[in-house]
Structure 1
Amino acid sequence: MSRVYNFCSGPAALPEEVLLKAQKEMLDWHGVGMSVMEMSHRSDEFVSVLHSAKARLARLLNINDDYEILFVQGGASSLFAQIPANLMAGYRSSSYLDTGAWSVKAIKEATKYGEVQVVASSKSDNYTHVPSFSDWNIDESSAYLHITPNETIGGVEFADLPETNLPIVADLSSTILSREIDVSRYGMIYAGAQKNVGPAGVVICIVRKDLLARSQESLPTTWNFANLAANDSMINTPPTFAIYLADLVFEWLEQRGGVAAMETVNIEKSKLLYQAIDNSQFYSNPIHINSRSRMNVPFVLADASLEKTFLAESEVAGLKTLAGHRSVGGMRASIYNAMPLEGVQALVDFMLSFEKRYG
């Protein structure tokens, strides 16, 4: 068997050690004679998996008792509607920062539940930077402020938070556990699992408990954050195997020194790739340097006619899924936690070789 380096933006690569452990436990989890996929979600065995996942995540992110950890189905895109449905009750508007494609989708869904105030946008600059905080116009009477700290498609990222009294709601789908954050500065964090956590099918939600009171009984039962919290994410059958694999990924992260250690590696990986791009006249990255993503690195060739050749030859070289999003084209390397430094080095070596042959 030959494993490739998978640069897909999601579903993304998982740590090989996690896959091997899941393979070993596939038919018989901890001596119970069945797979996690087969056991009742109400069983003591699966409840222990769920609580292990919550405890590990709480340790990794230093989540205190002011927050509930939920495992929600439907993907982060469903949360675009579920969040305003829960959090806008009693408020006229919500506030959103527009930094790219995923921000736009979130804004579109929120408008179905009330007025949306766009506090700032980089659309006029083709989403190549994050607007300066001084340009944000935050309505402090809003229900919350929604941000997308990493735009997976465009490769734009920011880590700082503005000063505001509003609960900050953040879509951390492509950055969760890749860098240290202060959870206490957020009202809610949500993240689709299929980038840095596990397989598609589950969304991690970290919700400040005081915000749960906004959830109205009129909401669909499985959409209601307060109901989900009261039922330990098990109003109905949760995505059990996805939660199990997430727990294995959390264990893998703990064994490697946690989020701080992973951030150090991620800085090294992204620096290596951006240096290769910046030191070349053959490749370029369109994003302002201070807004570049560590997780998703888009780049284009000076001669766009060579892109298909680049993608074809990189596939042969074992470097998979480097095509940029269909809306922007070019190339994109997603270098999440599971991508080893060796994989980024292999990509850089290929890029240099390709430039010598075609540049």
Structure 2
Amino acid sequence: MKHNFGAGPCILPQEVFKKAAAAVIDFNGLSILEVSHRSADFVAVMEEARENVKKALNVPAGYTVLFLQGGASLGFLITAYNMMGKHKRAGYINTGTWATNAIKEAKGIGLDVVEIASSQDKGFSYIPKGFEIPEDIDFLHFTSNNTIAGTQFKDFPKTNVPLVCDMSSDIFSKEINVADFDIIYAGAQKNLGPAGATLYIVKDEILGKSTAEHIPSYLDLAIHAKKDSMFNTPPVYSVFVANLNLQHMLENGGVQAIAKENQAKAELIYKTIDENPLFEGTTAVEDRSEMNVTFRLTDESLTDKFNAAWNAAGIVGLKGHRSVGGFRASMYNALPLSSVEVLVDVMNNFNK
């Protein structure tokens, strides 16, 4: 058995993989890979997927759920275009690579970007706090979890300014109050489904209200909302598998149950990092991510030996991002506690 701690790929329950694999051969007489996105069978899948998102996150009335393409990287541009208002000015909290990229895209379409706060001074190893949010901005954007640095917002910013959040790497990992946000967007490939689909949860009030001189049709959320995510051919297989995962999630206690499991996994590995003299965490303790645990050896000359130890245990994907080095244990929803226990055993045995 392999224990997948990779930061990028889709990790899903085995039951979901089995159903998804079967549908490649037969989905109501056709392969899910060849079924028309306009067919009644797939339209029903799309509608159910959107409704299951609403159930899982208790999405209130007045919000539209969309499955689009392009990943969060296109979302940087989509959100900036659709949230541009009378000020043509936006606030961004810079907590890492993806937030930095979002800032770049917003500036590229002419928004006056105010960097409200940043943790770049310490290598993005903490979440900024105590910052002031100006009122003369159209929206405030932040990234809820930082996959590379291993930090996570434990409390979301409190503001009367419209709030936009990239939740790509921790959506469905814990309960959230959707009503606090104007747009939530997230690439599917961490906790939702295979890469290819991007989830948008959008407050209806903002649709069609952008002051941008021109929004390319594909980047206009109002157009997608009118077409029920079918403006163009959607990522059929990604949406199908995402819906299978949403079904499985709802049948097994929902986000509330997942949150308890995620907390238990994080507590176990961070306890080991703190108590084992061969390892140390790389982020501020109060801002540690439950999804992406970053750490390093206190003696880097032992790197090759430690790599051999975790490889021998069937662990994959433990190396840190190439930009920061060290190690990163990504523990998305479907990674079982038993896999974390294997890693902890490797770390403790390595110390012995």
In the alignment, the residues of structure 2 paired with residue 50 and residue 309 of structure 1 have an alpha-carbon distance, to the nearest angstrom, of 48
Within the candidate set 267, 272, 288, 1:271 is matched to 267
> TM-score, structure 1 length as denominator?
0.95
Match of 2:106? Answer: 110
Quote how far apart the aligned CAs of 1:313 are. Answer: 3.1
State whether residues 212 and 226 of structure 1, in contact with CA within 8 Å, keep that contact through their aligned partners in structure 2: yes
In the alignment, the residues of structure 1 paired with residue 21 and residue 254 of structure 2 have an alpha-carbon distance, to the nearest angstrom, of 24
Match of 1:330? Answer: 326
State whether residues 117 and 139 of structure 1, in contact with CA within 8 Å, keep that contact through their aligned partners in structure 2: no
Count of matched residue pairs: 350
In the alignment, the residues of structure 1 paired with residue 25 and residue 10 of structure 2 have an alpha-carbon distance, to the nearest angstrom, of 24
State whether residues 79 and 183 of structure 2, in contact with CA within 8 Å, keep that contact through their aligned partners in structure 1: no
Within the candidate set 196, 200, 207, 1:205 is matched to 200
Match of 2:176? Answer: 181
Match of 1:352? Answer: 348
How do 1:1-359 residues align onto structure 2 when only pairs under 5 Å count?
A: 3-29=1-27, 32-113=28-109, 114-132=111-129, 134=130, 136-215=131-210, 218-356=214-352
- What's the C-alpha RMSD, in Å, of the aligned pairs? 1.3
In the alignment, the residues of structure 2 paired with residue 305 and residue 227 of structure 1 have an alpha-carbon distance, to the nearest angstrom, of 56
SS in 2 for 1:71: strand
In the alignment, the residues of structure 2 paired with residue 59 and residue 193 of structure 1 have an alpha-carbon distance, to the nearest angstrom, of 17
SS in 2 for 1:94: strand
In the alignment, the residues of structure 2 paired with residue 157 and residue 41 of structure 1 have an alpha-carbon distance, to the nearest angstrom, of 36
Post-superposition Cα deviations, 1:10-65, rounded to whole Å, max 9, x if no partner, equal 11322111001112232112xx2112211110010000000110111100000122
Quote how far apart the aligned CAs of 1:143 are. Answer: 1.1
Quote how far apart the aligned CAs of 1:248 are. Answer: 0.6
Structure 1 runs of 4+ aligned residues shifted over 4 Å read none
Give the letter aligned to residue 206 of structure 1: I
Post-superposition Cα deviations, 1:269-296, rounded to whole Å, max 9, x if no partner, equal 0000000100011000021111000000
* Unpaired segments ≥5 residues, structure 2: none
Post-superposition Cα deviations, 1:58-85, rounded to whole Å, max 9, x if no partner, equal 0000012211101110111111112112
SS in 1 for 2:108: coil
In the alignment, the residues of structure 2 paired with residue 72 and residue 78 of structure 1 have an alpha-carbon distance, to the nearest angstrom, of 10
In the alignment, the residues of structure 2 paired with residue 171 and residue 305 of structure 1 have an alpha-carbon distance, to the nearest angstrom, of 37
State whether residues 68 and 208 of structure 1, in contact with CA within 8 Å, keep that contact through their aligned partners in structure 2: yes
Quote how far apart the aligned CAs of 1:217 are. Answer: 7.9
> TM-score, structure 2 length as denominator?
0.97
SS in 1 for 2:25: coil
In the alignment, the residues of structure 2 paired with residue 280 and residue 165 of structure 1 have an alpha-carbon distance, to the nearest angstrom, of 44
Give the letter aligned to residue 181 of structure 2: Y
In the alignment, the residues of structure 1 paired with residue 324 and residue 308 of structure 2 have an alpha-carbon distance, to the nearest angstrom, of 18
State whether residues 313 and 342 of structure 2, in contact with CA within 8 Å, keep that contact through their aligned partners in structure 1: no
State whether residues 187 and 195 of structure 2, in contact with CA within 8 Å, keep that contact through their aligned partners in structure 1: yes
Give the letter aligned to residue 51 of structure 1: E
In the alignment, the residues of structure 1 paired with residue 149 and residue 320 of structure 2 have an alpha-carbon distance, to the nearest angstrom, of 9
Percentage identity across aligned positions? 43
SS in 2 for 1:146: strand
In the alignment, the residues of structure 2 paired with residue 332 and residue 13 of structure 1 have an alpha-carbon distance, to the nearest angstrom, of 16
SS in 2 for 1:333: strand
Post-superposition Cα deviations, 1:97-120, rounded to whole Å, max 9, x if no partner, equal 111121111111111121101111
